[in-house]
Structure 1
């Protein structure tokens, strides 16, 4: 799971007609002025209060100061896009800070009040430079791989992806679906200069195994997901993974009896649900999959990071407290989602917090492979041992602990830390070989 960052996501829906965008531009300038002056009570007055909904100043304070803590002082604003949707004007703004960029979507009512104030992306300047350093692994034989752009899914959530297949295969080939971890990930699992899903896709295709990877629903349809009060992990992850399986089941050149799903992190956590469908899977791979509750994992991560960076301990403690409070179940289904972690609603948290992936996995009869890196601080060896204990009576479970590997299945040394993701590196050949051997050994 990606590092949790407490940021405000406020969506106040309105169906009104906008007038002149020059007034909205003036509002944007006022927003940044009040943010930099720490005048959050005044900033809250710029938000539309239709239907009696208020924006608490303390949420605006946290949203701004979390960014400042991460990226330093605000510098400039750049408008990337202006659009009209449902009679409202929306702008995509990129705010530059000392060491990073924040992209937001901001919407306006007819009287130039803010109706939408939504984080879309945070990128450090170093990450932007590092992204350009990505290269495919040396173990990939590109000439033996055929990459095809595909689309699949149910309207209105059609997803784009890439299917990598071995070239000139004489028989139908097995296929893997890669399911993302938490956050609005793209098809490559991109983090800085690392693209682990792309590494795995091209690595396996080089060895005769097709792979489908795709942009996550929350990446492609961020606005729609944020506005959905009934949004759960099923909409985030499960349903689209099942649609990917259905798409591949009739795809030419694919062996429909050898469809395997690799779930990374949150995707691994949800594999028992994903596998519960009308098309039988040949097997599933739990890759860096948490065995504990999601809130427990985030609390663990915050504790770990607070110990690693004492100067940021207060910020991590605040983020941890959100999940400690969540576990007390202080909210109900009528609680506005902007008061809950990540800006998702009560139904999301009720669902995932009551889910036990280890208990669900005990009921699975298909082959299961567990891959865990020993240098993974996000999903650690405790989770790996919990999986082993839960499935100790299962003849279908295989466990592989990979020495020195991170959450992204990349080998390294030293104390695990977020800076590991800034190192240009690839998924190890050991991981690709483990997957290849296990998949080709399935009967």
Structure 2
């Protein structure tokens, strides 16, 4: 009977269910003011569930391990980020006044809203499309890996040059969706309009693709990318001699692995790809990101030191990190003989342009590759957006998904390299 009374109390609070959408703003100090959304759901059995949505951090979705309502008191546990929220409903149930705790305790007032604000993304493609869109799948780099993908192809007969898009680190869907942006959708749209077939896919174990993501390394992902190339070569509407692999971030590390093993590849495009070991990338990345976020030099260095120590402690248990930390791209780049376009943004705080483009160029030249184009694009960040500081906190706030300069640079290189109009 106690359980029944409690469920009735939860669903009948203030004459309405507590389920719904709430919005508030957290004053996070050096990180600025962050909008947080709360989605509460209630099952037919009365069980509550939900998640916090960090709107200004790319709509990051943080699931709650538990949601409890006792009278007017709401308690939410968020162990995935080491946080919790505890607050009290107002009499009308439209406001929750409470404290968000993640190390420090910060006041957070949430108000019921019809829906969370969505960012303007003017570049996102909208139908009707001037090209064909086809849902496909192909075998990846392991027997249990089937990769679900979207192929966009210019209309008309003929055999088209093609581009395979390879995403950055972490489990990514075919649009490489992050911070409310879908950069691979924008790349696919722009390049297909320019006359190229584009194949983009969900990472293994992600979205509609099968297989296991956790425990896989860049070498495994390179086998998946090679599987995409193999698939394209089976299609009668693709010119098998004109296939390019284009990778972003970790994808820019993966593309050379594919090219070194496949001399028939027509070229690779490295978007913010790495040219030095992962350890060197991280030792520069962490303080750079902290400074861009507003920390002073002492705090930036201390924050980076602690994070690096945690990473080193996890090397034995995290196969991806262990491989990335030690992997030196130079020997692989020396084996790449196809044309290469390597781009980076001058404001990239994740993969420093000077350090990595210099190393990429040196390795390619040492291997005897003379068909190399390397360029730093001014005022662009890691996502190739026009930015102010390059901080990761800007990603979701910038309406632009991809700089037109970056798009034009890639289109021009592809047309020249693949001899298309």
TM over 0.5: yes
Give the equivalent residue in structure 1 for 2:286: 302
Q: How many residues align?
A: 338
Compared CA separation, residues 362 and 97, structure 1 to 2 (3 A): closer
Q: Which residue of 1 aligns with 2:328?
A: 356
- 3-state SS, counterpart of residue 212 of structure 2: helix
- Whether the aligned pair in 2 keeps the contact of 1:94 and 1:102 (CA below 8 Å) is no
Q: Which has the higher helix share?
A: 1
Contact 1:78 1:93 in 2 (8 A): yes
What TM-score comes out, normalization by structure 2 length? 0.67
CA contact under 8 A between 1:159 and 1:214: conserved in structure 2? yes
Residue correspondence of structure 1 range 307-326 to structure 2 within 5 A: 307-310=291-294, 317=302, 320-324=305-309, 326=311
Structure 1: segments with no counterpart, 5+ residues: 1-21, 27-64, 83-90, 108-116, 120-124, 338-344
1:440 aligns with 2:415: yes
* Aligned mates of 1:92, 1:437 — CA distance in 2: 53
Match of 2:117 in 1: 129
1:144 maps to 2:130: yes
Judged with a 3 Å threshold, the aligned counterparts in structure 2 of structure 1 residues 379 and 250 are, in CA distance, closer, same or farther, namely same
The structure, 1 or 2, with the larger RCO (C-alpha pairs under 8 Å, 6+ apart) is 1
CA RMSD of aligned residues (A): 4.1
Q: TM-score with structure 1 length normalisation? A: 0.64
Q: Report the 3-state secondary structure (helix = DSSP H, G, I; strand = E; otherwise coil) of the residue aligned with 1:217.
A: coil
Equivalent position of 1:246 in the other structure: 230
1:388 equivalent to 2:361? Answer yes
Whether 1:232 and 2:206 are equivalent positions in the alignment is no
Partner of 1:165: 153
Q: Distance in 1 between matches of 2:237 and 2:373?
A: 28
The Cα of 1:353 is off from its aligned counterpart by 2.7
Secondary structure of 1:202 counterpart? helix
CA 1:92 to 1:70, structure 2 compared with 1: closer, same or farther past 3 Å? farther
Q: Distance in 1 between matches of 2:238 and 2:286?
A: 42
* d(CA) in 2 for partners of 1:243, 1:360: 19
* Paired position in structure 1 for 2:10: none
Aligned mates of 2:385, 2:54 — CA distance in 1: 30
* Residue of structure 2 equivalent to 1:174: 161
Distance 1:418 1:251 in 2: 39
- For 1:73-152, list aligned pairs within 5 A: 78=41, 94-96=50-52, 102-104=61-63, 129-131=117-119, 133-136=120-123, 143-152=129-138
Q: Deviations over 1:313-337 (max 9, x none)?
A: 869845642424655xx6785xxx3
Correspondence for 2:206 = 219
Query: Structure 2 regions of 5+ residues with no counterpart?
Result: 8-27, 67-78, 82-109
Deviations 1:175-228 (A, max 9, x none): 0001001122221122234222111111111111111111112533899636x6
1:260 Cα deviation from its structure 2 partner = 0.3
Shift of 1:365: 0.9
Residues 148 and 129 of structure 1, relative CA distance in 2, 3 Å threshold = farther
1:370 maps to which of 342, 365, 379: 342
Task: Please give the secondary structure, in 2, of the residue aligned with 1:94.
Answer: strand
Q: 1:96 to 1:165 in 2, by over 3 A?
A: same
Which digits, 9 at most, give the CA deviation of each residue in 1:402-424, with x for residues without a partner? 12222122234x22222331211
Among candidates 389, 392, 398, match of residue 418 of structure 1: 392
* CA displacement 1:4-59 (0-9 Å, x = unmatched): xxxxxxxxxxxxxxxxxx9xxx9xxxxxxxxxxxxxxxxxxxxxxxxxxxxxxxxx
Larger radius of gyration: 2
Partner in structure 2 of residue 191 of structure 1:
178
1:204 aligns with 2:191: yes
Q: Check whether the contact 2:266–2:339 (CA below 8 A) recurs between aligned residues.
A: yes
- Stretch deviating more after TM superposition (348-357 or 175-184): 348-357
| Structure with greater proportional strand content | 2
Of 370-379 and 187-196, deviating more is 187-196
Cα distance in 1, alignment partners of residues 253 and 43 from structure 2: 36
Range moving further from structure 2, 312-321 or 373-382? 312-321
Distance 1:402 1:368 in 2: 16
User: Does residue 431 in structure 1 map to residue 406 in structure 2?
Assistant: yes
The whole-number CA distance in structure 2 between the counterparts of 1:260 and 1:355 is: 23
